[in-house]
Amino acid sequence: NAGVTQTPKFQVLKTGQSMTLQCAQDMNHNSMYWYRQDPGMGLRLIYYSASEGTTDKGEVPNGYNVSRLNKREFSLRLESAAPSQTSVYFCASIRSGTPKETQYFGPGTRLLVL
Amino acid sequence: GDSVTQMEGPVTLSEEAFLTINCTYTATGYPSLFWYVQYPGEGLQLLLKATKADDKGSNKGFEATYRKETTSFHLEKGSVQVSDSAVYFCALREAGGTSYGKLTFGQGTILTVHP
C-alpha cells in the first residue's frame, strides 16, 4: 500500500514549456486534491475532484488544468509554465464521508520555472 | 476570509528542550483547528486536532489547546527528540456543521532538533 504517490519529485522548466504532474492513490479514495505551497504561505487549493468524472476549481486555478483519469489518478497540467508557478505541489486524497482534515498527502513535487 | 498565522521559523532546539510553536487564526464562527507534520521526503500527516473551544488535542507527546479568547492553537511538547525534526503546519476548517469545509493552512514552521 503505497498511499499517495507523485511524479516527478523535482522538475526544472523554462518559461512557456508545458508539463504534467502525476498523482496516484491506491486507497480507493473518491476525492482527490491538488495544492501548491509557496514560501511564507500556507497550502492553497488549486483544483479538486470530488469523485471520478468531476473536477472543480479551488482558490488558485489560473494557469492549470486537471484530469481525473480514473479513480486512482489525478493529473495537473501546466500548459505554458510561468515563473510564478515555481512552487511545491502536493496531491491529496480522501474517502468521501470522512472529515476533510484526514486527507492523505503525497510527498510533493518541487517545480522550478526559469 | 479565514487565515492562519504561524510563528516564523526555522526553530532550532537541542534534544529534550521544550517546544512551542505559536499559531493564531482569524475566522468567523467556531472553526476546527489542526496541526499537521511533514517529515523530510514525506507528505503532510494530521498530528492532532481540536473541534471546539477549550478542547486539547494531543498525539505523540505534542499538545495544543483551542483558545477562543485569544484565537490561538499553540503547539507544545515538553521534551523534543531528533526524530521530531520536521515542518509543522497549523490549519483550520471553516465552521458550518460540515466535515467538508475548506481547509486553510498556515505557512509552516521548520523545526530542527540537534542531539
pLDDT tens profile A30-68: 999 999 998 778 889 999 998 888 999 998 999 999 999
Q: How confident is the model at residue B90 (pLDDT cuts 50, 70, 90)?
A: very high
Alpha-carbon distance A56 to B85, whole Å?
35
DSSP letter for each residue of A28-75: --SEEEEEEE-TTS-EEEEEEESSTT--EE-S--TT-EEEE-SSSBEE
**Amino acid B66: pLDDT:** 96
Alpha-carbon distance B34 to B91, whole Å?
5
Find chain A residues with C-beta within 8 A of B4's C-beta. 42
Nearest to A89 by CA among A71, A114, A69, A109: A109
pLDDT in tens, B3-55: 899 988 899 999 999 999 999 999 988 899 999 999 988 888 999 999 989 99
Q: With CB atoms and an 8 Å threshold, state whether A42 touches B93.
A: no
- Percentage of chain A modeled with pLDDT above 70: 99
**Amino acid A50: pLDDT:** 87
**Amino acid B101: pLDDT:** 62
Q: With CB atoms and an 8 Å threshold, state whether A42 touches B44.
A: no
**Amino acid B99: pLDDT:** 47
Q: Which of A35, A43, A96 to mutate to test the interface with B (most CBs of B within 10 A)?
A: A43
Looking at CA atoms only, how far is residue B51 from chain A in angstroms? 11
Cell of B74: 499553540
Q: Quick one: closest CA in A to B3, which residue?
A: A42
